[in-house]
A and B are shown apart, each in its own frame.
Chain A
């Protein structure tokens, strides 16, 4: 996944540089991907807070 996001970022950064119009649009679409990844990770971190905290301190093995 991180590699896919890096590729999306790279093509997104370059496409707007090399063209206008549709290339700008492609750039916006691709650069949104890593930011969606960020939102997804925040959601993953947040989801648990609403649940009761169980086993938050695991016994040392």
Chain B
């Protein structure tokens, strides 16, 4: 049993961490709801051509031809990334920008049929309509890296609010068992019980999605750390060398990477000079073929001038943590039923957030009722005044 003083402390923590972050968390929950289904929504409203109807095991066309086709569709631009998604091997995405170092989020994406090299469509990032607005709001509130880090701080407060809420569940519920709601006394008391019960029911989901969301806000910074430390060490011998004048064949480079990681699949390649690569290399990211390892990528560096193998290295623990945390935030790793569950959890989280605001607001306006609650507070001496405290 925790002491009355520490209950008071936890109440204070719960109240203030919640009050500060709730409005942002509501925005995140509401914008996150459609984002759970972004694949389905994107597919339903896709204005791109469908890939050719070919047998599932049709091999990819030569990657150099695919890149040529994408460049022809975006004249004057340089290639940043070429990537595939494991759920749709018939698509390849080529991301192009004004210069090698231009930011990736200003890129134009060209979608190519991976077997025929036919261009299926192109789109500038951030111009995908309402879903991109939701995404921008959810990730950074249209405020770039500072917006992202700010939401990370709000997420951190939310995780603390969740933990403190769980700590307070037992003293607040006292000897009442799970599922018992005091519904006949006042609306506020009923919602206090519901807030506690719903909150504790989904607490772990909320905590996991909140925490992994916070980790995601550090993605840009972690990538910079990786580029500086790991990538820097792998390509140290290239320092000061003249820039690449002629790009070696990408098809050959990927084939070389496959030879060095025969049990892995091609995930994406970063062209020289981009955020995921060095100025002198194709960095080819390979992924595993098991459900879990498919999330983890391993970079293989290929000299972009000569096409020769340079180095390969497993990702450091912080990138692994980031990659593992992403599905736990998105809920995109167990088919459509998991996404639906994710959405339902999200709705419950919205109810918990709103009831939290309601309880705080009511408490401010309804002091007499609280007196009643306080004097009526159960047999546990620690619990005396609890409901009144959380205001």
Q: Which residues of A contact B (CB under 8 A)?
A: 1-2, 5-6, 9-10, 13, 16-20, 23-24, 27-28, 31-32, 34-35, 37-38, 40-42, 44-49, 51, 53-58, 60-61
Interface string of B277-288 (1 = CB under 8 A from A): 000000000000
Which one of B178, B327, B335, B348 has the highest number of Cβ atoms from chain A below 10 Å of its Cβ? B178
Would A28 and B185 count as touching, CB distance under 8 A? no
Could you tell me if A35 and B179 are in contact, using CB atoms closer than 8 angstroms? no
User: Shortest CB–CB separation between residue A34 and chain B, in angstroms?
Assistant: 5
Q: With A28-B338, A38-B348, A45-B194 in contact, do A56 and B201 touch (Cβ < 8 Å)?
A: no
B78 at the interface (CB under 8 A from A): no
Contact among B185, B190, B348 for A35, CB-based, below 8 A: B348
Q: Which candidate, B66-74, B91-99, B202-210, is the interface stretch facing chain A? A: B202-210
The answer to whether A17 touches B204, judged by C-beta atoms less than 8 angstroms apart, is no
Please name 5 pairs of A and B residues whose Cβ atoms are closer than 8 Å in the assembled complex, sorted by A. A20-B291, A24-B334, A35-B341, A41-B194, A48-B183
Q: Does B169 have its Cβ within 8 Å of any Cβ on chain A?
A: yes
* Other-chain contact of A28, B180, B292, B334 (Cβ < 8 Å): B334
B153 within 8 A of A: no
Sample of 9 further A-B pairs with CB below 8 A, known A1-B178, A54-B184, A56-B184: A1-B177, A6-B204, A18-B292, A24-B337, A34-B345, A35-B344, A45-B181, A47-B183, A61-B376
The smallest C-beta distance from A41 to any residue of chain B, in angstroms, reads 4
Chain A residues within 8 Å of B335, by CB: 24
Taking a contact as CB atoms under 8 Å apart, the answer to whether B201 and A34 are in contact is yes
Q: Which of A13, A44, A48, A56 contacts B186 (CB 8 A)?
A: A56
The A-contacting residues of B in range 195-236, CB under 8 angstroms, are 197-198, 200-205, 208
Q: Does B48 contact A (CB under 8 A)?
A: no
Q: How far is the CA of A10 from the CA of B203 in the complex (A)?
A: 11
When C-beta atoms are compared, the residue in chain B nearest to A35 turns out to be B344
Instruction: Return A46 CB to nearest CB of chain B, in Å.
Output: 8
Given the interface contacts A5-B201, A28-B341, A34-B202, does A60 sit within 8 Å of B181 by beta carbon? Answer: no
Contacts A20-B291, A61-B375; A48 near B184 (Cβ below 8 A):
yes
Q: What is the CA–CA distance of A56 and B184 in the complex, to the nearest angstrom?
A: 5
Query: In the complex, what distance in Å separates the CA atom of A31 from the CA atom of B344?
Result: 10
Given contacts A54-B184, A56-B186, contact A40 B348 (CB under 8 A): no
Instruction: Check A42–B194 contact: CB distance below 8 A.
Output: yes
Alpha-carbon gap, A4 to B391, bound state (A): 30
**Residues of chain A lying within 8 A (CB to CB) of residue B345:** 31, 34-35
A1 to B337, CA, bound (A): 24
**Would you call B333 an interface residue if the criterion is a C-beta within 8 Å of the partner chain's C-beta atoms?**
yes
The reply on B193 being an interface residue by CB < 8 A is yes
Residue of B with least CB distance to A15: B334
A37's partner among B184, B201, B372 (CB-CB below 8 A) is: B201
Say whether A38 contacts B341, CB under 8 Å. no
A28–B201 touching, CB < 8 Å: no
Q: How far is the CB of A18 from chain B (nearest CB, A)?
A: 5
User: Which one of B190, B203, B291 has the greatest number of beta carbons of chain A within 10 Å?
Assistant: B291
| Chain B positions within 8 Å of A60 at CB level | 372, 375-376
> How far in angstroms is the closest Cβ of chain B from A25?
9
Q: Which of A6, A17, A44, A58 contacts B179 (CB 8 A)?
A: A44
With a cutoff of 8 Å between Cβ atoms, the chain B residues found around residue A34 in the complex are 201-202, 204-205, 345
Does B328 make an interface contact (CB < 8 A)? yes
| Given A28-B337, A35-B341, A61-B375; A13-B184 close (CB under 8 Å) | no
Q: List chain B residues, Cβ under 8 A from A10.
A: 204
Asked if residues A38 and B183 are in contact (CB atoms below 8 Å), the reply is: no
Within 8 A of A (CB), among B327-375: 327-328, 333-335, 337-338, 341, 344-345, 348, 372, 375
Q: How far is the CA of A21 from the CA of B376 in the complex (A)?
A: 52
In the bound complex, CA of A16 to CA of B291 (Å) = 9
Q: For the complex of A and B, list the 6 residue pairs with the smallest distance between their C-beta atoms, beginning with the closest.
A: A16-B334, A1-B178, A48-B183, A9-B204, A41-B197, A45-B181
Q: Are A58 and B201 in contact (CB under 8 A)?
A: no
Chain B residue contacts of A61, Cβ below 8 A: 375-376
CB <8 Å contact, B181 and A44: yes
